Amino acid sequence: MFKAILIEKSGEGQTCRLADLDESQLPSADVTVRVAYSTLNYKDALAITGKSPVVRKFPMVPGIDLAGTVESSSHPGLEPGAAVVLNGHGVGEGHFGGLAEKARVDGDWLVRIPKPFGPREAAAIGTAGFTAMLCVLALERHGVRPGDGEVLVTGAAGGVGSVAIALLARRGYSVIASTGRTQEAEYLRALGAAGVIDRSELSTPGKPLGKERWAGVVDAVGSHTLANACATTRYRGAVAACGLAGGMDFPATVAPFILRGVTLYGIDSVRAPRPLREEAWARLAQDLDVSKLESMTREVGLGEAIAAAGEVLAGKVRGRLLVNVGR
């Protein structure tokens, strides 16, 4: 038996509880992982609370991230004892996820945890940090360089934003952090932000084109924030869009794209191919300061995760929320 958060269908809604499961209840797959840590992302919070139809079948163990060690494997590339991390691939939505002491998954979904990270650090990075690295890679491949000008990071006090600031600052970029929690300015500057602006500067309807400011953008918010970020990006700059905390809509015009040659990159972390995953994790191991990761991480136990989901949706969580499944 092992402990897991279990979401079940209940009439017109759902229930969520901490349950004891038998290993026979795990789905069929070629690798069983002894999970050490998971996380609480925005999508996990939606799944746990039922605020959005994230879960595609019931019952479901939520958790789009997991990190731990291989317990048993018939996968040719993974042996028992290997330290592994999983982000996305539909776990926690259509396949039992990481908010449990055990998981059984497709070995092709797993990436070996690169040194100097262990399972704790890998989970603390999680989908949010992995996504932030994908955004940075997109800006770099576009040709955005540290000397080109300021890079905007929206939703800066959240998980994606916090890691993106730390990564970009480490590479020498001048990062401007946009947040609705300006009381976190000291925290954001400690991560490497050169400046902090209130999200209200970007979150209301704006002009089709604004004054050129950003060489690049990492946007985790969407809606008017993304539209205004595009409208104020400099000629031939790039915007990496990866989130929708402010809404799924995109109330923009084509003006930034056809008059300034701005490029909008969509960043998907769920189905990213293995070579890109391995590249991103290798770069995280190279570029992310572990001490800064620790400063943006708060740890809770598995039994506390259900209550903490409400904090995530309310925007009360700074940085990363790590779940120690053994607590």
pLDDT in tens, 106-144: 999 999 999 999 999 999 999 999 999 999 999 999 999
Q: Dump pLDDT digits (tens) for 3-48.
A: 999 999 988 789 999 999 999 999 999 999 999 999 999 999 999 9
CB 154 within 8 A of CB 229: yes
Does residue 255 share a domain with residue 143?
Answer: yes
Which residue range(s) make up the domain with 83? 2-112+296-324
168-189: pLDDT as tens digits: 999 999 999 999 999 999 999 9
**In terms of domains, do 57 and 161 share one?**
no
Cis omega (within 30 of 0) for bond into 59: yes
Fill in the amino acid letter for 85.
V
User: What are the backbone dihedrals phi and psi of residue 59, each rounded to the nearest 5 degrees, phi first?
Assistant: -70, 165
Q: What is the CATH classification number for the domain harbouring 307?
A: 3.90.180.10
Stretch 68-83: mean pLDDT, rounded? Answer: 98
Domain count, the chain: 2
Q: What is the pLDDT of residue 12?
A: 78
> Residue 123's closest CA among 286, 3, 284?
284
- Say yes or no: 81 and 151 in one domain: no
> Which strands form 233-241's sheet, in the order they lie side by side?
195-198, 175-179, 151-153, 214-219, 233-241, 263-266
CA atoms of 36 and 276, how far apart (whole Å): 24
pLDDT band (50, 70, 90) for residue 219: very high
